Amino acid sequence: MKVRITLFGALRDADPHGFVELDAPESCTIGTLRDLLREHLREHAPQISAGLVQRSAFASEDEILHNHRTLPENGQLAILPPVSGG
Amino acid sequence: MSDLHTAVIDICDASLDPVAALAFVSDPRFGGIDMFIGKVREHNLGRVVTGVSYDLFEPLALNTFQEIGERARRKVGGPMKVYIAHAKGDLRIGDIAVIVAAGTPHRDEAFKACRMAIEAVKHEAPIWKQEHYTDGDSAWSEGCSLCEEHREAEQTAAKRGAAHEHGHDHDH
């Protein structure tokens, strides 16, 4: 399935469109998607550190999705680097 | 009318308004009101800051504010009104970045709810701060990971008495 990952904060530098699209296996976990994204960025945005992807969380519009969760059916996700509000 | 108000305010549309926050948490039942106002300051970690840009994942930020308000209500356990608003966009020095206000019957619950809510907003809400400096450089602030493995590692480090409670170098 096609997955669109919206970028925020320091990860916006990974793609000028503000998102990355990946092909992921049906019902794959967030942990697997994290590995796919790390590989994609290593190739297409080498300035982004793998450590930043590791410290980031995936989320839907409603909640944080931890590594054991499966991809949402609509294929829409956000990746959230460490937060610094306030 | 709800007793919890949450907002993300685009600085292009309006400034954050402490008077509106005060009005929202005011109530004839409440004798105690506490308000925290966070402003953009001109120095951070030894560098002169000219402005700050805030990036937010708005739907989840609003969900998170709502959940924080409900958690504050459970902690206090009595009647309470909470107001949580955060700015989005490009802010100048002195602009208000965040307002958290709580109104309760007595001061103790108001202080507790307000403190809990602002700490949770800083550590849990999907918000990112980019600082701009006098030399034209800019940088995204170091922050708190929302990823469970890293949160656990940070909490373990805190329990071991690390110098900074989250094991990373930011300034709150």
How does residue B158 score in pLDDT terms, banded at 50, 70 and 90?
Answer: confident
What number of residues does chain B have?
Answer: 172
Taking the CA of residue A10 and the nearest CA in chain B, the distance in Å comes to: 6
Q: Taking all residues of chain B, what is their mean pLDDT, rounded to a whole number?
A: 92
Tens-place pLDDT, residues B70-116 = 999 999 999 999 999 999 999 999 999 999 999 999 999 999 999 99
CA distance B61 to chain A (A): 9
- Class of B4-140 in CATH: alpha beta
Radius of gyration for the alpha carbons in chain A, expressed in angstroms and rounded: 12
Distance from C-alpha of A82 to C-alpha of B101, rounded to nearest angstrom? 25
Distance, CA of A48 to CA of B42 (rounded, Å): 28
Chain A positions touching B63 (Cβ under 8 A) are 61-63
pLDDT, tens digit, for every residue of B126-143?
999 999 999 999 999 989
Contacts of B170 in chain A (CB under 8 A): 84
Domain ranges of chain B: 4-140
Distances (CA, A) of B156 to B9, B147, B152: 35, 14, 6
Of all residues in chain B, the percent with pLDDT exceeding 70 is 92
Helix (H) / strand (E) element for B72: namely: helix B58-76
Confidence band of B167 (pLDDT split at 50, 70, 90): very low
In chain A, where are the structural domains located? 2-8+16-80
pLDDT level of residue B162 (50, 70, 90 thresholds) = low
Q: Which residue does chain B place closest to A9, by CA atoms?
A: B128
Asked if B125 lies within 8 A of A83 by C-beta distance, the reply is yes
CATH, domain range A2-8+16-80: 3.10.20.90
CA B148 remoteness from chain centre: 21
pLDDT of B67 strictly over 80 = yes
Per residue in A21-76, pLDDT tens? 999 998 899 999 999 999 999 999 999 999 999 999 999 999 999 999 999 999 99
> In the prediction, which pLDDT does B153 show?
74
Tens of pLDDT, residues B19-57: 999 999 999 999 999 999 999 999 998 999 999 999 999
Closest residue by Cα to residue A78 from A62, A86, B44, B87: A62
